[in-house]
Amino acid sequence: MLKVDIIKGQLLDYIRHYRSSGQIRLPTERQLALELGCSRSTVGKALGVLAAEGIIDRRPNSGSYINQASPVCSTIAVLLRNTYQCTDAYFRLVIDTLSSYAEHLGLQIKIYDHLSASFEKPGFFEQFSSLIEDGSISGLLIASRMPIRIPAALYSLCPIVSINNIFTQGHEIPAISCDYFRVGFLAAKHLLEQGHRRIAFLTESMEHPETGLDLSGFRSAMEMYGLELASSDILETRVNLNSLGSTIRTFFKKRQHSACFVRSTSLALQAIPILQQASIRVPQDISVIAAGNYQPERQQQMQLTTIDNRIEEMCQKGLEFLKLKVANPGMNLPSLTLLEPELQIRDTVLPLLTTDHTKGLGVD
């Protein structure tokens, strides 16, 4: 995000506070630059953008005034449980998509990360609530796994929507998610249609909420073919980078599997080079399909076959729901919107020929 865009967002916060207190004239550019910790020219450019959008009037030799006839665009707080890391492919995609689409909808977003720890600090909830009460925050978008106590405390304060989460326990938070049962089902179905029968299931953790749904769908497709997924077909890597290589090499060294489904794109992009270093070729020796579309550039480089779980559409629909709810507080939104995953066929899956992989597996 450009420095001017950041300062513009901070100026919009100023405008909300000034408008709520009945003031219409903003501080001078010099004062704003000092308060915001930036150059006067950056403030001037940001004010110019706000003037072009009709939010303020800039009067020569007089100053900048809030245009009372023009509403300030709503600010959506994006809530993240842990500290936002731009190196995390999933959250980078989420934030980039939200930023781009918010601009399209005439909304602003502001990231509030490390929320789980922040809620433990004395006074944080009161401070955050005051931002909602004075209009600095118009809506909340939960963009990561979150302890239920946090949305439970917030959902009555302003419009709130969750993406890629499904909350229970009676909290009426509209949720937009992918149908992860279908993700696992489509992955297994595609491999089975290519003739594979001995298929491995790889995940970082069996405790991850999506893993259970993926695995359930995966088993369901296998059962349609009269097959069973044994515990020896499941590898839980536990995201230990120091032992990931040896864990994967040990699991596949007997070459009992002709294909594998990997629960996340990031894990698949780590696993494939490890397999290749162990002289297990993808897809000649083992076909690989993964869930997610978080690293499109590397995926295209590897031509990784994936089940797209529609993260970008989740982000867009979440913002659309919030914009509707902010404008119409009494509107009832669907409690759960499930998006259908999509198979993206590339080059890491090959049809299984009659090789050693098929012996004794009942494959003609």
Residues of the chain with CATH 3.40.50.2300: 77-173, 180-309+344-358
DSSP secondary structure letters along 193-235: HTT--SEEEEES-TTSHHHHHHHHHHHHHHHHTT----GGGEE
Over the stretch 86-98, which tens digit does the pLDDT of each residue have? Answer: 677 888 889 989 9
- C-alpha of 22 from chain center: 38
CA gyration radius, the chain: 25
Is 3-66 a domain of CATH 1.10.3720.10? no
Distance CA 123, CA 140 (A): 19
Say what angle helices 89-105 and 311-327 make with each other, to 10 degrees: 40
| Average confidence (pLDDT) over 310-316 | 95
* Contacts of residue 22, Cβ cutoff 8 Å, sequence gap at least 6: none
Contact 4, 42 (CB under 8 A): yes
Phi, psi of 91 (to 5 degrees): -70, -30
- C-alpha of 339 from chain center: 14
Buried b (16+ CB within 10 A) or exposed e, 47-77: beebeeeebbbbeeeeebbbbeeeebbbbbb
* Contacts of residue 351, Cβ cutoff 8 Å, sequence gap at least 6: 194, 195
- Could you tell me the CA-to-CA distances from 183 to 215, 256, 306 in Å, in that order? 9, 24, 10
Contact 26, 33 (CB under 8 A): no
**Class for domain 180-309+344-358, per CATH?**
alpha beta
pTM over the 0.85 mark: no
Residue 300 pLDDT exceeds 80:
no
**Class for domain 77-173, per CATH?**
alpha beta
Residue 124 pLDDT exceeds 90:
yes
Question: Of residues 42 and 136, which shows the higher confidence score?
Answer: 42
Residue 239 pLDDT exceeds 80:
no
